Chains A and B, each alone.
Chain A
Amino acid sequence: MLLACTWRPAIAPLAQAGPAAFDPALVRRGANLATLGLCANCHTTQQSAPFAGGLAIATPFGTVYSTNITPDRDTGIGAWSEQAFARAMKDGVGRDGSHLYPAFPYDHYTRLAPDDVRALYAFMMTRDPVRAPARANDLTFPLGLRPLLAGWKLLFLDHDAAPADAARPPDWNRGAYIAAALGHCAACHSPRNALGAVDQRQFLGGGEAEGWYAPALNAKSPSPIAWTRESLTDYLRTGIAAEHAMAGGPMQAVTASLAQADPADVRALATYIVTLMGKPDARIEARARDAAAHPVVLQPAPAGNNPAAQQLQLGARVYQDACARCHASGRTGSSGGALQLPAAVAVYDPDPRSLIHIVRDGIPPGPAEPGRWMPGFANILSTEQITALAAYLRHSAAQQAPWPDLAKQVAAANQDTASK
Chain B
Amino acid sequence: MTTPMNQYALNVNGSQHTVVAESDTPLLYVLRDDLQLNGAKFGCGLGQCGACTVMVGADAVLSCLMPVSSVGKRPVKTVEGLGTVQRPGVLQQAFIDEQAAQCGYCIAGMIMRAEALLEAVPAPSDEQIRSHMALNLCRCGTHMRILRAVRKASNKMAGKA
Question: Which residues in A have some Cβ–Cβ distance to B below 8 Å?
Answer: 297, 300, 316-318, 320-322, 324-325, 334-336, 362, 373, 375-377, 379-382, 385
B59 touches A379 (CB 8 A): yes
B24 touches A325 (CB 8 A): yes
**B contact residues around A318 at 8 Å (CB):** 70
Q: Which of B29-37, B60-68, B85-93, B140-148 contacts A (4 or more CB under 8 A)?
A: B60-68
Known interface pairs A336-B45, A382-B70. Does A320 touch B65 (Cβ–Cβ under 8 Å)?
no
**B contact residues around A300 at 8 Å (CB):** 1
Bound-state Cα–Cα, A213 to B29, Å: 36
Question: Which residues in B have some Cβ–Cβ distance to A below 8 Å?
Answer: 1, 3, 23-24, 45-48, 56, 59-62, 65-67, 69-70, 72
- The tally of CB-CB contacts under 8 A between chains A and B is 53
Q: Write 24 A-B pairs (CB below 8 A) sorted by A numbering.
A: A300-B1, A316-B1, A320-B1, A320-B3, A320-B23, A321-B24, A321-B67, A321-B70, A322-B24, A322-B65, A322-B70, A324-B24, A336-B46, A362-B47, A373-B47, A375-B47, A375-B65, A377-B65, A379-B56, A379-B59, A380-B56, A380-B61, A380-B62, A380-B70
6 A-B pairs closest in CB distance: A375-B47, A321-B67, A379-B59, A321-B24, A380-B66, A321-B69
**B contact residues around A317 at 8 Å (CB):** 23, 69
Bound-state Cα–Cα, A325 to B24, Å: 9
- The minimal Cβ–Cβ distance linking A417 to chain B, given in whole angstroms, is 11
A382 touches B72 (CB 8 A): yes
B45 touches A375 (CB 8 A): no
**B25 nearest in chain A by CB position:** A321
**A367 nearest in chain B by CB position:** B134
**A contact residues around B69 at 8 Å (CB):** 317, 321
**A335 nearest in chain B by CB position:** B46
Bound-state Cα–Cα, A317 to B22, Å: 12
**A contact residues around B56 at 8 Å (CB):** 379-380
Bound-state Cα–Cα, A111 to B22, Å: 59
**A contact residues around B67 at 8 Å (CB):** 321-322
Given A320-B1, A336-B46, 12 more pairs with CB closer than 8 A: A297-B1, A321-B23, A322-B65, A322-B66, A322-B70, A335-B48, A375-B48, A376-B47, A379-B60, A380-B56, A380-B62, A381-B70
Bound-state Cα–Cα, A322 to B69, Å: 9
**A contact residues around B61 at 8 Å (CB):** 379-380
- The minimal Cβ–Cβ distance linking A378 to chain B, given in whole angstroms, is 8
Bound-state Cα–Cα, A267 to B59, Å: 43
**B contact residues around A325 at 8 Å (CB):** 24
Bound-state Cα–Cα, A322 to B62, Å: 12
Bound-state Cα–Cα, A381 to B72, Å: 10
- The minimal Cβ–Cβ distance linking B109 to chain A, given in whole angstroms, is 15
**B contact residues around A316 at 8 Å (CB):** 1
Bound-state Cα–Cα, A377 to B56, Å: 13
- The minimal Cβ–Cβ distance linking A364 to chain B, given in whole angstroms, is 9
**A contact residues around B24 at 8 Å (CB):** 320-322, 324-325
- The minimal Cβ–Cβ distance linking A413 to chain B, given in whole angstroms, is 16
**A320 nearest in chain B by CB position:** B1
Bound-state Cα–Cα, A193 to B48, Å: 40
- The minimal Cβ–Cβ distance linking A360 to chain B, given in whole angstroms, is 12
- The minimal Cβ–Cβ distance linking A394 to chain B, given in whole angstroms, is 18
- The minimal Cβ–Cβ distance linking A135 to chain B, given in whole angstroms, is 15
Bound-state Cα–Cα, A335 to B3, Å: 23
**A contact residues around B70 at 8 Å (CB):** 318, 321-322, 380-382, 385
Bound-state Cα–Cα, A335 to B64, Å: 14
Bound-state Cα–Cα, A376 to B46, Å: 11
**B contact residues around A297 at 8 Å (CB):** 1
